Structure 1
Amino acid sequence: MIRRIVICTSYLPYDDRDPPPIMEVEDLVNFCKTKSWDLLVECDSNSHHSVWGSSDVNPSGESLLEYLMTTELQLLNRGSQPTFRNNVREEVIDITLCTSSIVHKIKGWRVSGETSLSDNCHILFMLSEGAIHAISYRDPKATNLYRSELTIDIEGISQHKFRDQDEIESSVTFLHRSIISSYEKSCPLKVKKEYTFQ
């Protein structure tokens, strides 16, 4: 049986007022669960917890771990080699998560010793051969109608005078949806068949 695997990266801001995870991650986890799709997440969590090898535990780490315990996501991190390094400190803040049904397909999780072009180190792992037969993706370079699609969508709210906070919030929600739908219309999904990770 062929199952769909959603692969994503996520950044959890260190200065967010709300505890992690961000709403988009929760929505994606819930969406994949309702569709019975597998999920693989590489996450710059900016959260510290000894469970994933950090040197200490901070409130955002506690909050993130509490959330993960309510999901079917499994932590793939191994050891305590820092995933973040700068001149001042180093720490484990990047985590890799996946649904339990594909844990056995992911091999050799490790932090690369190679220099990266950021403070975050490269995370390496392999999906076992045959785990992926086709990948759906969007090519942002092929996006050429985005502005015109978005302009048509938001024409009504650009001239609107807002009377209260509810109108502002509903317009923000509408704008958010318009940005996504305009992107999806102007940059349709493509499928690459028989793609296998080595």
Structure 2
Amino acid sequence: MSTTRVRVLQVNLHYAKAASAVVCRRFDKDGLDVALLQEPWIHGGRVSGLKTNYNKMLYKEGAKEPRTCIVYSNRVNCTLIPVLCTADIVTAILTTPIEEGTRSWFVSSAYLPGEEICPPPQLGEVIAYVARENLQLIIGCDANAHHILWGRTDINTKGFILTNSLLIANVGNKPTFVTAAWKEVLDITLSSEKACDNIENWHVSEEPSCSDHRQIRFDLVTPPRTSITYRNPRETNWRGYSLSLNEALEEEVIEIENNKFFERQWRKLARQ
């Protein structure tokens, strides 16, 4: 069985015309298939600067100041789901050809305003619908839910991701938002459990984006990759482990000194 690979880009364009031109360039030079975009360039009340002869664009037309859109190439098909779209959330069915016929995912581009409730009701509707119908979901979002699990340097009360059966596709804690004064992980890729195994090569790109947000790149592959689970102590985020365990147990957790100390404490906990 051959592998079908859909190349995906995710980025907040910060309303920059130049950043939009960079995305169009990626479709042309890199064979990009789908872009999940937040805060695109707006001209005359419409999303602009992204539609070309080799791609198409979806967003909530008629919305005042739309802050999200999805751009896709002619090699795949995206069908907008209007009832699951707002100015801040765009949802579509992504369909790709495979040997056995076609493969479909739900894909969303979401902007989560820091001053509003999180998640917004419309995103909750998307998550609930996908869970109810047992579908596969990929969300690219500029999130204001803070947690060290996806590389943030702080935790706030908006950790809705942990309570909605979503998985975090981010790898490592490389900043996605970079200015002269601040570096932070603001952009995350979320997926349903079934879709997670289809995500490969997730990384924060070093290529100039002409935005203060860096581009996130990953592939959706069919058939899904074979997962091999193992523990690599050298790659463990001990601070994140301690803080998240402390949060789960609601009591102070002793500091992890080394690998042997961790193994001893783990065995004690397992016997309880």
Check whether TM > 0.5.
yes
Counterpart of 2:115 (choices 4, 8, 15) is 15
1:35 aligns with 2:133: yes
Larger fraction in helix: 1
What is the deviation of 1:129?
4.0
Indicate conservation of the 8 Å contact 1:40/1:99, yes or no: yes
Q: Give the match for residue 105 of structure 2.
A: 5
Taking the aligned partners of 1:3 and 1:37, their CA distance within structure 2 comes to 11
Aligned length: 124
Taking the aligned partners of 1:34 and 1:47, their CA distance within structure 2 comes to 24
Larger fraction in strand: 2
Indicate conservation of the 8 Å contact 2:138/2:189, yes or no: yes
1:114 aligns with 2:193: no
User: What is the SS of the residue equivalent to 1:29?
Assistant: helix
Counterpart of 1:55 (choices 153, 161, 178) is 153
Query: Taking structure 1 as reference, are residues 3 and 73 closer, same or farther at Cα in structure 2, changes over 3 Å only?
Result: farther
Counterpart of 2:198 (choices 105, 108, 117) is 105
| Residue deviations 1:56-77 (CA, integer Å, cap 9, x gap) | 22x2xx322xx22232211111
What is the deviation of 1:48?
2.5
User: What is the SS of the residue equivalent to 1:4?
Assistant: strand
Indicate conservation of the 8 Å contact 1:3/1:38, yes or no: no
Taking the aligned partners of 2:211 and 2:115, their CA distance within structure 1 comes to 19
Structure 1 vs Structure 2 CA RMSD: 1.9
TM-score (norm 1): 0.57
Q: Percent identity?
A: 31
Specify every segment of 5 or more residues in structure 2 that has no aligned partner in the other structure, as ranges. Answer: 1-99, 225-272
| Residue deviations 1:94-132 (CA, integer Å, cap 9, x gap) | 11011111211110111111111221111111111457x
TM-score (norm 2): 0.43
| Residue deviations 1:115-174 (CA, integer Å, cap 9, x gap) | 11221111111111457xxxxxxxxxxxxxxxxxxxxxxxxxxxxxxxxxxxxxxxxxxx
Counterpart of 1:75 (choices 157, 168, 175) is 168
Indicate conservation of the 8 Å contact 1:55/1:91, yes or no: yes
Query: Taking structure 1 as reference, are residues 126 and 3 closer, same or farther at Cα in structure 2, changes over 3 Å only?
Result: closer
Indicate conservation of the 8 Å contact 1:78/1:110, yes or no: yes
Counterpart of 1:127, as a letter, is L
Q: Give the match for residue 241 of structure 2.
A: none
What is the deviation of 1:85?
1.2
Specify every segment of 5 or more residues in structure 1 that has no aligned partner in the other structure, as ranges. Answer: 132-198
Query: Taking structure 1 as reference, are residues 3 and 35 closer, same or farther at Cα in structure 2, changes over 3 Å only?
Result: farther
User: What is the SS of the residue equivalent to 1:27?
Assistant: helix
